[in-house]
Amino acid sequence: MAMTKGLQLLSEAKDLDASVIEIRRAIHAHPELGLDLPVTQKLILDRLDALGVPATRGATISSVVGHIAGTQPGPTTLLRADMDALALVEETGLPFASAVQGVMHACGHDAHVAMLLGAAELLMAHRHELRGSVILAFQPGEEGAGGARRMLEEGLMQPSPDRSYALHVITNIPSGLIATRGGPMMASADEFLITLTGRGGHASAPHEARDPIPVAAELVLALQVALTRSVNVFDPAVLTVGQIEAGTTFNIIPEVATIRGTFRALSEETRVKVSDLVNRVAGGIAKAHGAEVDVSFPMESYPVTVNDPEGAGRALQLARLLVGPDAVQEMVTPVMGAEDFSYLLQVSPGAMIFLGVAPPGVDDPAPNHSNRMLVDEAALHRGVALYALLALAD
């Protein structure tokens, strides 16, 4: 029965290709950043209204929450799609490329919104079969602004749904492949900012100054070494310095140098350990050189995304019924990217699921977050059908 339903939904989702792709391209051409996404929000509200899905908008952010009530009692399923873009100059050459300078949908959130709107159409068509209800959560601010947490604060999970799922397109796995795993699925994400203050002076007389640049250089290497000697390799962490700033010209020793980076972990214990390590190593290196140091963690920090084993197993089982076992993969290891869907999984059991969208004929596809990222739109109907099946299946 479930297999028959899956194949039917897949066929119906394929029939929605033109509509879903049109929505995806419209969103792609008009990307928005952060928590305030009025254009995207209006598109979603208009589409849900046309489908007859009652929806509410966020009180303080541009979120949208749709509600579909079934005709029979049963569980409440939350389906989430993030909406925001990234601060990048698009270089794809697509005819529907970003019309907003310096902003691009380079993580596939345009596809997520389009797939969930397609699923809403399927669910409305099968509403008479729906046991329970469905919450359609369209979330802004995933890219560092903590939109999921803000939606929780506005009552998204009051009462808590019985199960929660999110799909995420990925360009580095084959198009149409569906993948997930139980347990840790994605890492936590924390940003650190280290400010080193010395004493400025002339480049010809470093002994009369206190140069923060070699202190910064030593600290970058010390953090890498300390990490390998402090963290269990079977509970890994990654630390990357992505930005160093100091000085104004070649012959002046600056007073201040700043180091900015991120660390990722797969458990809360290791996450806390790395945070302490950054503070300790930065303090020790600065003291050894007589520099002042300030360490802060300015970004919205995301916890580890932990899939419920039963929820992930259910997703894998339904995906196999939908697209066949050869197009479904149970992941062996998590990935070190981060997701604020982690907040929702702390409240309601479920799973983050990957959908491969590697463009055909490209040997080395540009990854997510690249300004050259391309999406194979031929895979999107699988995401539409899977969203719907996750809500309709027992």
Provide DSSP, 57-88. Answer: E-SSSS-EEEEEE-SEEEEEEEEEEE---BS-
Whole-angstrom distance, CA of residue 17 vs CA of residue 51: 16
218 is catalytic: no
Q: Which of 229, 232, 210, 222 is nearest to 281 (CA)?
A: 222
Strand pairing category for 72-82 and 131-139 = parallel
First to last CA, the chain: 11
Which residue in 302, 339, 343, 387 is the catalytic one?
302
Active site annotation includes 302 = yes
DSSP state of 358: P
The set of residues, in sequence order, having a beta carbon less than 8 Å from that of 46 and lying 6+ positions away, is none
User: d(Cα 18, Cα 29) in Å, to the nearest integer?
Assistant: 16
**Total residue count of the chain as it appears in this document:** 394
Q: Which residues pair with 260 in a beta bridge?
A: 193, 243
d(CA 206, CA 228) in angstroms, rounded, equals 33
- Cβ atoms of 117 and 44 within 8 Å: the answer is yes
**191, 255, 292, 377: the active-site residue:** 377
* Positions marked active-site: 302, 377
